[in-house]
Homo-oligomer: A and B are copies of this chain.
């Protein structure tokens, strides 16, 4: 009855009916064993793998399971902004449910506890999972190189929670200084350990943030000290020296001090001890110590038995773990050598996302008994921000500084959002403050 009515009255009615009809007569396929693809981690690498899998796979071709500690993804390359307090933590993350298709991917909010690559089982706080293909995309952890006290007394820009804690810690120090009768000026000293990418970007944000903190908490600007300490004899290794000079000059103009070639040998509740010479040490009191000097892969890697260096695995060209044809590793836990430069590619979001893309392709190839493809990074450049309106870097083969570089940096950030979440997410969480 209804069918007739619809066809007569409205051509759109037919479509509605047709779709209903399909659902009604749909014959369930004979249950065949679909392969289970288990993806651990929803960072750049893991989420990129899942998004590319769901693009290419039909609903019934595989069981894709994504396991992540939080129900959100965060932009780990933006965490220094949340840590400095220049960007809200909310702006740094988005719900995983926004980017996965529920009919193709099952999301499990759980923490991974163990990975058994021989028994093909992953233990999590939500139970054990078996797999046909495993993608390990568990990201980085901070590396303190065994320096005593750092684990306990230094903060690290490791995730959203940690970044928030740094912001709150600094604000609390400023607030407390203002209430003290006898003022401990060292509360207002912030030591940043490391003059690499993260350290420099964090210093850039602090340069923007400190004047605002001084105003908010009635702290005279000359009481605040921000000091970057670095063991290596240089700032931003790998960057063009001209760009490095620019960066250091700009940061110094914002009052940031540098102590280069001076390793931290100990951290205490009061500050850090620096090695200034052969037998020469200096203790610097500081209310806040942020350690941004090293990263390593996830510790669970070390328990798998797969050969690794600081929990990073030198993966095969197709991104598989050597000796395990069903285990892929992408992102910061994967180590690949840049043969031109004869050193590892840095653990960047750019490479992690490209790896996710290739990892998805290679899993699908294996499912179809086709050969896998080698992963070749497509390096588009690297830009380090120096606060909200300044940056340095190389993009499309060109060196750039200042407002132009800052604009490019924001475009790079927006691109990461776009690649995983498309336009709506980019508009919601992207950076458009250059307008």
Contact = CB atoms under 8 A, between A and B. Distances in A.
Interface in A151-166: 160-162, 164-165
B179 A175 contact: no
Given A161-B175, A161-B179, A168-B175, 9 more contacts: A70-B218, A160-B218, A161-B217, A164-B175, A165-B175, A165-B176, A165-B179, A168-B174, A171-B171
Nearest to A169: B172
A174 B218 CA distance: 24
Q: Which 3 A-B pairs have the closest CB atoms?
A: A161-B178, A168-B175, A165-B175
A70 B70 CA distance: 45
Contacts of A176: 165, 168
Contacts of A90: 216
A81 to B, nearest CB: 16
Interface in A164-217: 164-165, 167-169, 171-172, 174-176, 178-179, 216-217
Contacts of A165: 172, 175-176, 178-179
A45 interface: no
A356 interface: no
A172 B90 CA distance: 17
Contacts of A160: 218
Interface centre among A90, A161, A179, A217 (most CB of B within 10 A): A179
Contacts of A218: 70, 160-161
A89 interface: yes
- Copy number of this protein in the oligomer? 2
Interface string A64-104: 00000010000000000000000001100000000000000
A135 to B, nearest CB: 25
Interface of A: 70, 89-90, 160-162, 164-165, 167-169, 171-172, 174-176, 178-179, 216-218
Nearest to A88: B216
Contacts of A164: 175, 178-179, 217
16 contacts: A70-B218, A89-B216, A160-B218, A161-B178, A161-B179, A161-B217, A161-B218, A164-B178, A164-B179, A165-B172, A165-B176, A168-B171, A168-B172, A168-B176, A169-B175, A172-B172
A187 B167 CA distance: 18
A124 to B, nearest CB: 16
A94 to B, nearest CB: 14
Nearest to A166: B175
A70 B179 CA distance: 13
Nearest to A164: B175
A90 B218 CA distance: 11
Contacts of A162: 179
Interface centre among A161, A171, A175, A217 (most CB of B within 10 A): A175
Contact of A168 (B89, B161, B168): B168
A71 to B, nearest CB: 10
A162 B218 CA distance: 12
A155 to B, nearest CB: 9
Nearest to A173: B168
A44 to B, nearest CB: 21
Contacts of A217: 161, 164
A161 B180 CA distance: 9
Nearest to A70: B218
Interface centre among A70, A171, A172, A174 (most CB of B within 10 A): A172
Contacts of A168: 168, 171-172, 174-176
Nearest to A159: B179
Contacts of A89: 216
Contacts of A174: 168
Nearest to A179: B161
A165 B217 CA distance: 9
A126 B351 CA distance: 61
A157 to B, nearest CB: 11
A125 B81 CA distance: 40
